[in-house]
Amino acid sequence: MIPLFDLGVAVARVAVFFAFVFGLVVVMTWVERKGAAYMQDRRGPNRARILGITLFGMFHPLADALKFLFKEDFIPDNAHRLFYQLAPMFALAPAILTMAVVPFGPPVTIAGKTISLQIADLNVGILYLFAVSGLAVYGVVLAGWSSNSKYPLLGGLRSSAQMISYEVSLGLSIMGILMVFQAIRLSEIVLGQGELLFGILPKWGVFVQPLGFVLFLTALYAEANRTPFDLPEGESELVAGYHTEYASFKFSMFMMAEYIHMVVGAAVIATLFFGGWQFPYLADKGFAFPGGLSVTVPAAGVLVLRIGSFIGKTLFFCWLYVWVRWTIPRFRYDQVMRLGWKVMLPLSLLNIFVTGLVLLLIDKGGF
């Protein structure tokens, strides 16, 4: 049925992506603390040490993991036991599934076989991403409701309303990208971004769809429940929101889900709006700068540069989450709703309209 080689490649691909995302999740918990401390002029994590080495507090994630594993796994008396246990799984599973369609690099040819650096190049492409990430809301809602306690319930209600509201803008904000690149597969969108705009600028999504980028970024932050949209767990009003009653490993599953959402979100921004694995002015044979200058780079170098470029962009947007979190204060709830329905939605519709108009004019030779 399936040749052994292909099966091996598929397994290896899933394993590598899994390791990448989970590794980044661990690093991000450290980056978040260190970034917060840096911005507030503190030292941040610096206590955890192994044999006297602290390594800038890099061992803190390790201490965290041990703590999560060994704390008491507590279930409140009045909780709906089954749903209470299911909720963290409902939160974590969609988060992990979303990374399946993100291309990490160009297809590689090894021993006459082409291997794509993407777990699944689905025909529905970006729709899969929305379908799966839309399910993340169940984890939050179920956690809030099954805890049978007022703060989690309020947090769950808030977050479900927020996630449904911003899902609309999230979906509409990328329509422009799909229209410009005439593609819905992520691999094709990345290929389209390898061209040049007016002969000088890389044709990255952010240059052809600046408004779309701002809308997508905002909606993504709201979907991931990150500041300034972290009302579902607004600690000053709701203790810890939907996961107030969770402890131990179940709590850490919610944490992991949030951080995986961040990492995958960063990778998707890089893919849709910043050229994915495209390195500016780098073609298959080497650099080709506008103006005729070209530098030849061996194929392996090109591959390394491209994968490195994708990872670099992803890391930058991961850092941007931390940056925004410690810069912008939290919105009030009515402000979140007003922004979602009265600003983001009309703007994303306008973006689609203007994009369509411009594409039509270009098509008719008006430009």
- Contacting positions for other proteins (CB under 8 A): 1, 80, 82-83, 86, 122-125, 127-128, 130-132, 134-135, 137-138, 141-142, 144-145, 153, 156-157, 160, 164, 167, 184
Query: Cβ closer to other proteins: 138 or 287?
Result: 138
Alpha carbon of residue 184 to chain centroid: 18
| Dist. CA 58–CA 200, nearest whole Å | 42
Q: Which is nearer to other proteins, 63 or 135 (CB)?
A: 135
* Of 61 and 125, CB closest to other proteins: 125
- Residue closer to other proteins (CB basis): 11 or 295: 11
CB of 90 to other proteins, least distance (A): 9
The answer to whether the beta carbons of residues 72 and 247 sit under 8 Å apart is yes
Instruction: Name the residue nearer to other proteins (CB basis): 103 or 125.
Output: 125
CA distance 190 to 180: 12
Each residue of 159-176: b (16+ CB within 10 Å) or e?
bbbbbebbbbbbbbbbbb
Question: Judged by CB, which is closer to other proteins: 156, or 194?
Answer: 156
User: What are the tokens at 323?
Assistant: 């940056």
> What is the C-alpha to C-alpha distance for residues 98 and 59, in angstroms, rounded to an integer?
28
Distance CA 286, CA 265 (A): 30
Q: How far is the CB of 164 from other proteins (least distance, A)?
A: 6
**Preceding omega of 228 cis (within 30 degrees of 0):** yes
Q: Are 73 and 95 in contact (CB under 8 A)?
A: no
Helix (H, G, I), strand (E, B) or coil at 212: helix
Smallest distance from the beta carbon of 85 to other proteins, in angstroms? 13
Least distance in angstroms from the C-beta of 124 to other proteins: 4
Nearer to other proteins, 127 or 288 (CB): 127
DSSP state of 198: T
Shortest Å distance, C-beta 83 to other proteins:
6
- 31 vs 100, which CB is nearer to other proteins? 100
Tell me how far apart the alpha carbons of residues 140 and 147 are, in angstroms, rounded to a whole number: 11
Closest separation between CB of residue 243 and other proteins, Å?
Answer: 16
Quote the least distance from Cβ 2 to other proteins, whole Å. Answer: 9
Taking the C-alpha atoms of residue 33 and residue 339, their distance in angstroms, rounded to an integer, is 29
Q: How many helices (H) and strands (E) does the chain have?
A: 15, 6
CB of 311 to other proteins, least distance (A): 28
Determine the 3-state secondary structure of 313 from DSSP: helix
Select from 17, 218, 193 the least CA-distant residue to 100: 17
Alpha-carbon distances, residue 322 vs 30, 33, 39, 123 (angstroms): 11, 9, 10, 34
User: Least distance from C-beta 59 to other proteins, angstroms?
Assistant: 39
Cβ nearer to other proteins, comparing 44 with 134: 134
| Cβ–Cβ < 8 Å for 69, 249 | yes
Q: Are 337 and 157 in contact (CB under 8 A)?
A: no
**Which residues is 197 bridged to in the sheet?**
201
